């Protein structure tokens, strides 16, 4: 309830920030010149704003995007405002296991360090479709692609954290929509069943998977003693290209809830806060909204569910 009120009023929470805070504000005074970050979907929307904020603080940012032209344009626009920006562009289709493996291989071939991985890209409320690998498209793109990418780059992150002494951070973009999933949370036995498909519940399922992935990963990293944290975030309600499959539905929602919506700089704030802020050192396995920790749904805290999802994800990606 307090989170809902704070979102409406913009009142700052315990972190000192709230729903009205922007990406620039939450990173003010921070030096990220020692950070190399990879962000998926950084070509538009809150992803592009996250790239801009990280570059402004000196980070070397690699944008991984399906549309190379859009990603290159975003890089050029940022460079106009931040001449010192260090931004590279790489190609990936997160719905394709082969493409994700290709990105990871190309990244490692560059011998770049990796301090920060922001799993930002996603699709929303799409009509039923299977990926090239025969997996329901929202689950494949929003969860499986990021699950595999994270696994493939984890050794690079561990090596970077060990050699640099700087804590690595993994940030999964989830959503409050994780409350709106299928009965049981995840359709383990009928993931690709067209007759069971609901574009809204499928999206909620994929966003729940982002939370469960971060929670299970945080447990495994802690058990290894790795100097890496994994958290998930809800960016808020923001009008971005993500809405393209449901613009009429979302316009209606926006009309009746306009006091809850954020602009893009506000929408990128929680990602940037969790990615860079020193107050979160050592904090892992948590879910953040409006730059403050918030509770998840009951499914989001179900560690048996997270283990089962991890096993399914390994099987589907052959990770």
Alpha-carbon gap, residue 245 to 144, rounded angstroms: 20
Q: Which of 206, 121, 108, 187 is nearest to 151 (CA)?
A: 108
Q: At what angle do helices 303-317 and 199-224 cross, to 10 degrees?
A: 100
Alpha-carbon gap, residue 213 to 192, rounded angstroms: 20
Q: Which of 61, 45, 151, 47 is nearest to 97 (CA)?
A: 151
Alpha-carbon gap, residue 15 to 292, rounded angstroms: 6
Q: Which two tokens mark 308?
A: 């089962």
**Which three-class secondary structure state does DSSP give residue 113?**
coil
308 CB-near residues (< 8 Å, 6+ apart): 186, 188
Q: Is 197 a catalytic residue?
A: yes
Does residue 186 contact residue 309 with C-beta atoms inside 8 Å?
Answer: yes
Helix H or strand E segment including 89: strand 86-91
Length of the chain in terms of residues written: 319
Count Cβ neighbours within 10 Å for each residue of 256-276 and write b for 16 or more, e otherwise.
eeeeebbebbbbbbbbbbbbb
The sign of the torsion formed by the CA atoms of 243, 209, 205, 302 equals negative
Q: Which two tokens mark 252?
A: 């209606």
φ, ψ for residue 44, nearest 5 deg: -155, 175
State the catalytic residue, choosing from 182, 197, 203, 287. 197
| DSSP character at residue 96 | -
128 CB-near residues (< 8 Å, 6+ apart): 136, 137, 194, 197, 199
Catalytic residues: 197
């Amino acid at each position: 309830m307090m989170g809902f009120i704070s979102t409406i009023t913009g009142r700052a929470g315990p972190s000192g920030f709230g729903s009205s805070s922007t990406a620039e504000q939450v990173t003010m005074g921070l030096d990220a010149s020692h950070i190399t970050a990879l962000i998926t979907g950084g070509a538009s929307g809150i992803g592009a704003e996250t790239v801009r904020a990280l570059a402004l603080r000196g980070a070397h940012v690699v944008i991984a995007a399906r549309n190379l032209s859009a990603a290159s344009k975003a890089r050029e626009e940022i460079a106009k405002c931040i001449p010192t920006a260090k931004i590279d562009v790489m190609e990936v289709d997160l719905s394709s296991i082969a493409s994700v493996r290709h990105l990871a291989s190309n990244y490692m071939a560059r011998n770049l360090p990796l301090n920060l991985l922001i799993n930002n890209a996603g699709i929303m409320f799409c009509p039923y479709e299977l990926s090239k690998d025969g997996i329901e498209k929202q689950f494949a793109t929003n969860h499986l692609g990021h699950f595999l990418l994270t696994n493939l780059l984890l050794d690079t992150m561990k090596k970077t954290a060990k050699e640099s002494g700087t804590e690595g951070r993994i940030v999964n973009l989830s959503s409050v929509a994780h409350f709106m999933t299928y009965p049981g949370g995840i359709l383990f036995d009928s993931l690709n069943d067209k007759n069971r498909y609901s574009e809204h519940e499928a999206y909620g399922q994929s966003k729940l998977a982002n939370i469960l992935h971060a929670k299970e990963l945080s447990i495994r990293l802690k058990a290894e003693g790795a100097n890496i944290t994994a958290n998930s975030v809800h960016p808020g309600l923001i009008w971005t290209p993500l809405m393209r499959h449901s613009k009429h539905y979302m316009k209606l929602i926006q009309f009746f809830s306009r006091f809850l919506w954020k602009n893009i700089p506000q929408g990128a704030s929680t990602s940037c806060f969790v990615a860079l802020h020193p107050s979160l050192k050592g904090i892992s396995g948590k879910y953040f909204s409006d730059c403050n920790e918030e509770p998840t749904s009951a499914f989001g805290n179900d560690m048996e569910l997270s283990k089962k999802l991890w096993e399914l994800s390994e099987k589907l990606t052959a990770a």
